[in-house]
C-alpha cells in the first residue's frame, strides 16, 4: 500500500447509483466492500461524504431556500449518508465511528481531532459528517480540513470520472486527461476539481489529492496499489 492513512472523499450523487435519487444499496455495498478491504490490510481510513443525493444547499438557494438554512439541510443530508455507510460497513464486520461537526448525540459523536486519531489508530473507519459545521462551506472544504487535521497522507477524491481533464469530458469529447498536475496549474487553468477554499487549504498544507473513478468497483484498491487510474494533484 502506498498510503498508510487516507481521507476518502465520496460524492453524495454517486450514492444514487442508477436509480437517480436517494441511496442505492448496491452502490453503498460496493463502497463498503472496497473500504473494508483496505482496513483489513491495515490502512487507516477517514471518510467525508457529500449530501447531494438528498439535498444540496446551493441548489436549494436557487429554488428559493434561505442559503443559511439550505446549507444546514445539506449538512444533515451528509449525516444520513454517513449513517448509511456506517451501517453497511458494520454489517461486514468493519468497525466504524460516526462523528458529526455539530452536536448531534446519540446520532454521532461530536468531532474532535484527538478522538478521530484515537479511533483511526484502533482500526476504526472514522466517518466525519456535517461538513465543517458552518454554512457557506462545501464538503470539499470539509474534506480538506479534516484531511489536514488527521494528518492524512493523501485525499482520495472518488468521483464518477477517472481524473482531471482540460475541460468537462462529459461535455467536451476532445478533452484530454492529466496524469498529474500541480495546484498552481489548476489555478492557472481555472480547473474546478473542488472549490477554491478546499484547493487552497490542500496546497498550503501540503495535502496531495488523487482524483479517480470510485464508481468502478475495485478502483480504490488499485489506487492504493499504485496503479495510474486517475490524476494526482501535487504541491
Report d(CA 214, CA 133) in Å as an integer.
Answer: 26
Q: Return the pLDDT at 85.
A: 98
Report d(CA 45, CA 8) in Å as an integer.
Answer: 7
In this structure, is the dihedral angle defined by the CA atoms of residues 235, 194, 49 and 231, taken in order, positive or negative?
negative
Mean pLDDT to the nearest integer, 182-200: 92
Question: Cis omega before residue 106 (within 30°)?
Answer: yes
Task: Map out the domains of the chain as residue ranges.
Answer: 5-234
Q: Return the pLDDT at 86.
A: 98
Report the share of the chain in percent with pLDDT over 70: 97
Cell match 462523528: residue? 99
CATH architecture group of domain 5-234: 3-Layer(aba) Sandwich (3.40)
Q: Return the pLDDT at 188.
A: 92
Mean pLDDT to the nearest integer, 20-38: 94
Q: Return the pLDDT at 61.
A: 61
Q: Return the pLDDT at 60.
A: 60
Q: Return the pLDDT at 88.
A: 98
pLDDT(58) > 70:
no
Q: What is the mean pLDDT of the chain?
A: 94
Task: Say what the pTM is.
Answer: 0.94
pLDDT in tens, 72-105: 999 999 999 999 999 999 999 999 999 999 999 9
Residue 112 buriedness (CB in 10 A; 0-12 / 13-18 / 19+): exposed
127, 49 Cβ separation under 8 angstroms: yes
Q: Return the pLDDT at 168.
A: 85
Q: How confident is the model at residue 57 (pLDDT cuts 50, 70, 90)?
A: low
Name, in order, each residue with C-beta under 8 angstroms of 175's C-beta and a sequence gap of 6 or more: 165, 166, 167, 168, 169
pLDDT in tens, 106-164: 999 999 999 999 999 999 999 999 999 999 999 999 999 999 999 999 999 998 889 99
Q: Return the pLDDT at 66.
A: 87
79, 111 Cβ separation under 8 angstroms: no
Q: Return the pLDDT at 183.
A: 96
Q: Return the pLDDT at 18.
A: 83
Amino acid at each position: 500500500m502506498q498510503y498508510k492513512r487516507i481521507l476518502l472523499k465520496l460524492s453524495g450523487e454517486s450514492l444514487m447509483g442508477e436509480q437517480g435519487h436517494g441511496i442505492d444499496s448496491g452502490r453503498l455495498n460496493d463502497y463498503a466492500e472496497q473500504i473494508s478491504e483496505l482496513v483489513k490490510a491495515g490502512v487507516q481510513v477517514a471518510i467525508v461524504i457529500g449530501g447531494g443525493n438528498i439535498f444540496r444547499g446551493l441548489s436549494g438557494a436557487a429554488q428559493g431556500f434561505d442559503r443559511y438554512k439550505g446549507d444546514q439541510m445539506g449538512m444533515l443530508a451528509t449525516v444520513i449518508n454517513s449513517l448509511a455507510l456506517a451501517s453497511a460497513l458494520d454489517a461486514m464486520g468493519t468497525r466504524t465511528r460516526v462523528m458529526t461537526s455539530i452536536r448531534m448525540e446519540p446520532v454521532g459523536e461530536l468531532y474532535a481531532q484527538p478522538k478521530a486519531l484515537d479511533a483511526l489508530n484502533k482500526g476504526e473507519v472514522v466517518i466525519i459528517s456535517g461538513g465543517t459545521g458552518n454554512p457557506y462551506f462545501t464538503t470539499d472544504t470539509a474534506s480538506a480540513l479534516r484531511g489536514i487535521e488527521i494528518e492524512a497522507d493523501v485525499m482520495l477524491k472518488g468521483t464518477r470520472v477517472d481524473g482531471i481533464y482540460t475541460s468537462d469530458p462529459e461535455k467536451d469529447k476532445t478533452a484530454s486527461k492529466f496524469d498529474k498536475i500541480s495546484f498552481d496549474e489548476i489555478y492557472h487553468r481555472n480547473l474546478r476539481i473542488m472549490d477554491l477554499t478546499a484547493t487552497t487549504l490542500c496546497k498550503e498544507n501540503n495535502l496531495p489529492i488523487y482524483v479517480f473513478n470510485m464508481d468502478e468497483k475495485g478502483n480504490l484498491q488499485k489506487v492504493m496499489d499504485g496503479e495510474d487510474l486517475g490524476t494526482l494533484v501535487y504541491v
